[in-house]
Amino acid sequence: MEFTAIRASTAAAAGCSSPPPAADHKAEEEAAGAVEKEHMFDKVVTPSDVGKLNRLVIPKQHAEKYFPLDTSSTDKGLLLSFEDRAGKPWRFRYSYWNSSQSYVMTKGWSRFVKEKRLDAGDTQQYHHQHPSLVLESVPVRMSMAAAPAHPEPSAVATSGSKRVRLFGVNLECAADAEEDFSGPGRTATTALQLLSPASSSSSSSGKARCSLNLDL
Amino acid sequence: MEFTAIRASTAAAAGCSSPPPAADHKAEEEAAGAVEKEHMFDKVVTPSDVGKLNRLVIPKQHAEKYFPLDTSSTDKGLLLSFEDRAGKPWRFRYSYWNSSQSYVMTKGWSRFVKEKRLDAGDTQQYHHQHPSLVLESVPVRMSMAAAPAHPEPSAVATSGSKRVRLFGVNLECAADAEEDFSGPGRTATTALQLLSPASSSSSSSGKARCSLNLDL
DNA sequence: CAGTTTACCTGATGA
DNA sequence: ATCATCAGGTAAACT
């Protein structure tokens, strides 16, 4: 089963710095529904993606196009914040593995797989419940509704506020990396710093964000 | 097979700042033999402890009781010096892993495992050769012959010189961390600073030390 | 470059 | 049902 790409409008990339209350979830969902999303890419999730490796490989071509890592973020990776259609926040560590020359979502991914029942054994049920997400031969699609990919000011989207959607889920590239990397005395992972959209309206406070939508 | 705890006397915690000559080994060993040691704790070494992970997990309760890391040493860890019954010095990096919330001996541990044949496959032989060390169901015991655990002056052992024994091996908490942490641009690990035993006699120079004995 | 070391991470388990 | 612990992992830098 597949997504249909929706065209992007100027809907604000609603900030989700903290798990928003239910009311916000609804608002977010409606906004997303009203917005057409720009298709990013599909990926057929492999058994490894939902297996014990606890990581999702992002095909290099797509990763470099939509989630580039510059020199400052290559080492530590990024902490990307997502939310599913119900507004539930998901945070995945995104980084590059030199050993395998591949881009991956690591920390947090396994929890997502588990909750969404992305398991090879549960393919049928899962596919049934979550037609937009995946298993084996079921395509995972990324649709873009924002262009936060380039951390460099020069590469930023010109004006209209946009939003990144992965599997139809809002992606936020939180400028503040917090909680998960809260070891005492440790420096938090530096999240991808995004430029504030020029015409964005409802982004919470001053934090620059991108968001990725998981259509679940 | 197990240790029997031996009561501590006033035997000097002989300093082993550098690998002592054989003559010193014998003296050390005799002195240790004459000293009764206060039991610290046991740990049944797991397959992971002697496997490819190159680390020994120190159960938190014991770690915090006997090898506390204060704020200055938590980040970088400590360089602990041990010696086996033959007097051979062993140095292990001891630190806290935020991610797993656990205390571990890392650097140097694998060499010890290798030399002492602490391998799951060698259980029988090893147990035979080294009854005081471990594998799976064989307990590893820590016996204390000194109370160097608390770096705080207020918590120091009152008078008699003592010694810490791990697996019956002398443990030194070298006040000087050197050579092994010589990576470029890296600050040397701050070793656990111990108070000088009030009545210790033969501790070399002025360096405060604790020692841990591995009965091997 | 192969092995070591550091620093991450997670599932199972039990209180 | 949580939550802390730890056995068992991985990735990447370093030697």
Contact A107, A191 (CB under 8 A): no
CA–centroid distance for A173 within its chain: 8
Q: Is 70 exceeded by the pLDDT of residue A157?
A: no
Confidence of residue A213 (pLDDT cuts 50, 70, 90): very low
Residues of chain A neighbouring B70 (CB-CB closer than 8 A): none
Rounded mean pLDDT, A185-193: 32
The pLDDT of residue B49 is above 60: yes
CB contact under 8 A, A186 and B98: yes
Give the C-alpha separation, A123 to A102, whole Å: 25
- The answer to whether the CB of A137 falls within 8 A of the CB of A50 is no
pLDDT tens digits, A86-117? 667 777 888 887 767 778 888 888 888 877 77
Contact B46, B56 (CB under 8 A): no
Nucleotides of C under 7 A from a protein CB: 4-11
- Chain A residues with beta carbon closer than 8 angstroms to that of B72: none
A42 DSSP β-pair partners:
A141
D4 closest protein residue (CA to C1'): B101
Measure, in angstroms, how far nucleotide D14 C1' is from residue A206 CA: 40
Q: Are B99 and A183 a contacting pair at CB < 8 A?
A: yes
Question: Can you give the residue ranges of every domain in chain A?
Answer: 22-214
CA of A31 to C1' of D6 (A): 45
C-alpha A163 chain-centroid distance: 10
Q: What angle do CA A7, A8, A12 make, to 5 degrees?
A: 155
Q: Is B208 within 8 Å of B194 (Cβ atoms)? A: yes
The DSSP string of chain B is ---------S------SS---HHHHHHHHHHHHHS--EEEEEEE--TTTTSTT--EEEPHHHHHHHS---HHHHTT-EEEEEEETT--EEEEEEEEETTTTEEEE-TTHHHHHHHTT--GGGHHHHHHH-TTS-BTTBEEEEEES------SGGGS--SS---EEETBEEEE--S---GGG--TT-PPP-PPP-PPPTT--S--TT------EE--
Rounded to an integer, the average pLDDT of A3-26 is: 32
The whole-number pLDDT of residue B86 equals 74
Model confidence pLDDT, tens digit, residues B103-133 = 999 999 998 888 888 765 444 334 333 333 3
Task: Say what the pLDDT of residue B55 is.
Answer: 92
Q: How far is the C-alpha of A110 from the C-alpha of A92, rounded, in Å?
A: 9
> Which residue of chain B comes nearest to A180, CA vs CA?
B99
Nearest nt to the CA of B186 via C1' is D14
- Contact state of B74 with A186 under an 8 Å Cβ cutoff: no
CATH 3.30.420.40 for domain B22-214: no
Name the phi and psi angles at B149, rounded to 5: -60, -35
* 8 Å CB contact of A184 and B99: no
CB–CB contact A186 B99 (8 Å) = no
Of B214, B176, B206, B181, the residue nearest B192 (C-alpha): B176
Q: List chain A residues with CB under 8 Å of B98.
A: 183-184, 186
Chain mean pLDDT for chain B: 55
Q: Which residues of A touch B74 (CB under 8 A)?
A: 184-185
Which tens digits make up the pLDDT trace of A35-91? 444 556 667 677 778 877 788 888 787 787 777 777 666 666 777 777 666 667 777
- Among residues B172, B157, B168, the alpha carbon closest in space to that of B209 is found at B172
State how far residue A83 is from chain B, nearest Cα, in angstroms.
24
